[in-house]
Copies of this chain bind each other. A is one copy, B any other.
Amino acid sequence: MKRPITIHDIAKLAEVSSATVSRVLSGSDYPVSAATREKIQRIAKESNYIPNMLGKQLKTNSSMTIGVIIPSISNPFYSSVILGIEGIARQKGFHVIVCNSLHDAALEQEYLKTIAEKQVKGLIISSIGSDQAMLQKLMDTGMKVIAIDQKVDGEGISQIEFDYRKGGYMATKHLQSMGHRKIGYVTSQLDRPSRRSIYQGYEEAMRELDLEPLTAESAEDDVYNSLNEFNMGKKLAGKLLEAVHPPTAIFACNDVMAFGVINELSLRGLQVPRDMSVIGFDGIEYGQMIHPPLTTIKQPDYEMGRMACSMLLDLLNGETKPVYDVVLQPQLLERSSVADVQSKP
Contacts and interface: CB of A to CB of B under 8 A. Distances in A.
A98 B98 contact: yes
A232 interface: no
Contact of A119 (B52, B95, B289): B52
**Chain A: interface secondary structure?**
helix
Contact of A76 (B4, B76, B260): B76
Given A63-B54, A83-B72, A114 B95 contact: yes
Give the oligomeric copy count.
Answer: 2
A266 B290 CA distance: 11
A55, A100, A263, A289, most chain B CB atoms within 10 A: A289
A140 B79 CA distance: 34
Nearest to A230: B289
Contacts of A117: 50-53
Given A95-B114, A227-B285, A83 B100 contact: yes
A86 B100 CA distance: 9
A226 interface: yes
24 contacts: A48-B141, A50-B113, A50-B116, A50-B141, A52-B117, A52-B119, A53-B117, A54-B57, A54-B58, A54-B63, A54-B118, A74-B80, A74-B83, A83-B100, A86-B100, A95-B97, A95-B118, A98-B98, A226-B285, A227-B288, A259-B286, A259-B289, A263-B289, A290-B291
Interface of A: 1-2, 4, 48, 50-55, 57-58, 63, 72-74, 76, 79-80, 82-83, 86, 95, 97-98, 100, 113-114, 116-119, 137, 141-142, 226-227, 230, 256, 259-260, 262-263, 266, 285-286, 288-291
